[in-house]
């Protein structure tokens, strides 16, 4: 059974810092990995999707990398802003085609 772990569980940083969120998974036979953002009381918004054959994806200040062999992904956020405050979740999709989620990293960026 796929298990997804996210570290750290919570993070508080001053505005402007570059930061890294980590996601690890136990079964490397995946089709893709997605990073989502969730604001309080809201649904999830897809940020980036990395296919199994890819190493990274970029969108604006976000960069996600994937090392399938080691079962790890990182989400890099450059020049963080207060508006980046949210919970960030990663999900991996494997042979069952069911995205399995981690518990998320709760991020606070203070001015």
Partner 1 sequence: EAGVVQSPRYKIIEKKQPVAFWCNPISGHNTLYWYRQNLGQGPELLIRYENEEAVDDSQLPKDRFSAERLKGVDSTLKIQPAELGDSAVYLCASSRGDRELEKLFFGSGTQLSVL
89 binds partner 1 (CB under 8 A): yes
Restricting to residues 6-35, name those near partner 1 by CB under 8 A.
31-32, 34
With H, G, I as helix, E, B as strand and everything else as coil, classify residue 82: helix
Structure tokens at 33: 């990995």
Token pair 């996601």 is at which residue? 23
Q: Look at residues 89, 99, 90, 88 and name the one whose alpha carbon lies nearest to residue 31.
A: 99
Q: At closest approach, how far in Å is the CB of 29 from partner 1?
A: 13
Residue 93 within binding range of partner 1, rule CB under 8 A: yes
When asked if residue 103 is in the footprint of partner 1 (CB under 8 A), the reply is yes
Size of the site for partner 1 (CB under 8 A): 27
Kindly state the smallest distance separating residue 66's Cβ from partner 1, in Å: 13
* Strand runs labelled E in the chain: 4-7, 10-14, 19-25, 30-38, 44-51, 56-59, 62-67, 72-77, 86-94, 99-101, 105-110
52 touches partner 1 by CB under 8 A: yes
89: nearest Cα among 51, 46, 42: 46
Interface mask toward partner 1 for 53-72; x: CB under 8 A: x-------------------
Q: Site residues (CB under 8 A) for partner 1?
A: 4, 31-32, 34, 36, 41-46, 49, 51-53, 89, 91, 93, 96-104
């Amino acid at each position: 059974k796929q298990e997804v772990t996210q570290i750290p569980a919570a993070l508080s940083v001053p505005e402007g810092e570059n930061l890294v969120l980590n996601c690890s998974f136990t079964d490397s036979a995946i089709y893709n990995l997605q990073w989502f953002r969730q604001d309080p009381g809201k649904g999830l918004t897809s940020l980036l999707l990395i296919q199994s054959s890819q190493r990274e994806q970029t969108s604006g200040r976000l960069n996600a990398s994937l090392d399938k062999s080691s079962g790890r992904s990182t989400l890099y956020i450059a020049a963080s802003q207060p508006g980046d405050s949210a919970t960030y979740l990663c999900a991996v999709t494997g042979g069952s085609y069911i995205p399995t989620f981690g518990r998320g990293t709760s991020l606070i960026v203070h001015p």
